[in-house]
Amino acid sequence: MTKSRIHKNIIIIGAGMAGLTAALYAGRMNLSTLVLENGIVGGQIANATGIENYPGFAKVSGKELMSTLQAQAESFGAEIDEFDMIQRVQLKSTPKLVETDEHIYEADVVIIASGMNRRKLPLPEAGRYANKGVHYCELCDGHMYQDKVIAVMGGGNAAVDAANFLSKYAKKLYLIHRSRLRADEISQQKLLENPKAAVMLETEIKALHGEGRLESIDVFDKKSNQESSIAVDGIFVNIGVEPNSSLFAEELELKDGRIPAGEDCRTKIPGVFAAGDIREKEIRQLTTAAADGTAAALLAEKYIVKLQGGKSEW
C-alpha cells in the first residue's frame, strides 16, 4: 500500500510536558502542527497523583494537568496522534521526513520531545512475570495488591515515593536497594516511620520464582554475604530511566543517550530542536520541560519564516 504524503509546518515527537507545550505555542502561531506519541499522552507525569511544585497549582494530579494542556493545544489547532507508530526519521533533508505506519510526513521543523522510559528489571526471567507480579507503574497497578506483600526495587525519589504510595495497599512492603537511598529526607523519613515498611539496603535481587505468577524473590545481602528468599505477591521496579533516542542515533550525536542542545533547544541540524527530558541538560523538572517546549516552538516559528523568505513578527 502506497503511503500518503502529508506536509506539516511542525512535527513534534512526544506528547509530554515539553511536546504539548510546544504544540500549544505552535498552534497559537497558526502553524500546522502534528504531535506523534507512541505511548500515553502526557508522558510519565500523567501518572503522578499529586504535583505540588508546578507554579499556579497548590496541588494537581498529573492526569488533570496534562489533560488540560492537551485540550489547550488542540483548541489552537494542534493534532495529536497516539496510534500511528514512527518507523523512521530523516532529519537532515529539506523538508524533513517522518515515516509512520500509515503516512509519510514532510515537515519544515521537527521538535524531538520523546522523553524517557523506566529501565526494566535486569533479570532473564523478568519478562515471564510481566504484569504477573512484575510492574513498572505503581499508580496503574498498585490497586491490584490490596492486602498483599509488595516489594519496591530502587533507591531514588521515584522508588521511595512509589513505596510510600503502595503502602496504602500493602499488608507488608519491602524497599530493596543495592546501595544507599538517594531520595529526599522527607520521603525517606515517611517510609522509615511506616510500620508496614522494611528497608533493605546493600541488598540485590538475584532471582524471581513462581508458578504462573510471581511468588517469591531471592535476595543477596552484601553486608552479611548471605542469600535468602522472600515471599512477595508483586514487585514494582524503579531503577532509573532510559532516554527514548534510538530513533535519532544515526543523525544526531547522543550524549549518554540524550540529545545535545543548548537552552535554545537547537540541535546541530537546522530546523531540529530537542526539548524536555530528551535534551542533555542538568535540571529536569516539569517547569524546565515547559520552558523547553516554549523556546523550541517560538524559535521554530522564526526558522520557518526565514525558510520561507519572510520575517518573524516577534
Rg (C-alpha) for the chain, rounded Å, is 22
Is the pLDDT score of 226 beyond 90? yes
> Which class in CATH covers the domain with range 120-237?
alpha beta
Chain mean pLDDT for the chain: 94
pLDDT of residue 49: 62
Domain limits, the chain? 4-117+241-307, 120-237
Q: How far is CA 221 from the centre of its chain?
A: 31
CA 142 to each of CA 40, 133, 134, 251, 289: distance values in angstroms, whole numbers, following the listed order: 18, 11, 11, 40, 27
Tens digit of pLDDT for each residue in 2-18? 899 999 999 999 999 99
Do the domains at 4-117+241-307 and 120-237 have one common CATH topology? yes
Three-state secondary-structure class, residue 264: coil
Per the omega criterion (within 30 degrees of 0), is the bond before 55 cis?
Answer: no
Query: Rounded to whole angstroms, how far apart are CA atoms 82 and 195?
Result: 42
pLDDT of residue 311: 72
Q: Are strands 226-231 and 234-237 parallel, antiparallel or unpaired?
A: unpaired
Query: Rounded to whole angstroms, how far apart are CA atoms 263 and 279?
Result: 9
187: enclosing H helix or E strand: helix 185-192
Cell numbers placing 44: 510519565
Is 265 a known active-site residue?
Answer: no
Where residue 312 falls among pLDDT bands split at 50, 70, 90? low
pLDDT of residue 45: 79
DSSP sequence for 288-306:
HHHHHHHHHHHHHHHHHHH
Is the pLDDT score of 314 beyond 60? no
Q: Considering only CA atoms, which of 27, 129, 18 is closest in space to residue 73?
A: 27
Note whether 287 and 55 are within 8 A (CB): yes
Is the pLDDT score of 240 beyond 90? no
What's phi and psi for 163, nearest 5 deg? -65, -45
253: enclosing H helix or E strand: none
Is 141 a known active-site residue?
Answer: yes
Tens digit of pLDDT for each residue in 124-179? 999 999 889 999 888 778 989 999 999 999 999 989 999 999 999 999 999 999 99
With a CB cutoff of 8 Å and minimum separation 6, the contacts of 35 are 11, 12, 13, 14, 15, 19, 20, 23, 73, 78, 79, 80, 81
Where residue 194 falls among pLDDT bands split at 50, 70, 90? very high
> Which class in CATH covers the domain with range 4-117+241-307?
alpha beta
Query: Rounded to whole angstroms, how far apart are CA atoms 271 and 291?
Result: 18
Tens digit of pLDDT for each residue in 201-220? 999 999 999 999 999 999 99
Kindly name the residue from 81, 84, 108, 140 that is annotated as catalytic: 140
Kindly name the residue from 141, 147, 264, 292 that is annotated as catalytic: 141
Is the pLDDT score of 308 beyond 90? no
pTM of the full structure: 0.75
Q: CA quadruple 139, 141, 144, 147: dihedral positive or negative?
A: negative
Where residue 271 falls among pLDDT bands split at 50, 70, 90? very high
pLDDT of residue 53: 83
Kindly name the residue from 81, 84, 137, 221 that is annotated as catalytic: 137
What proportion of the chain, given as a percentage, has pLDDT over 70? 97
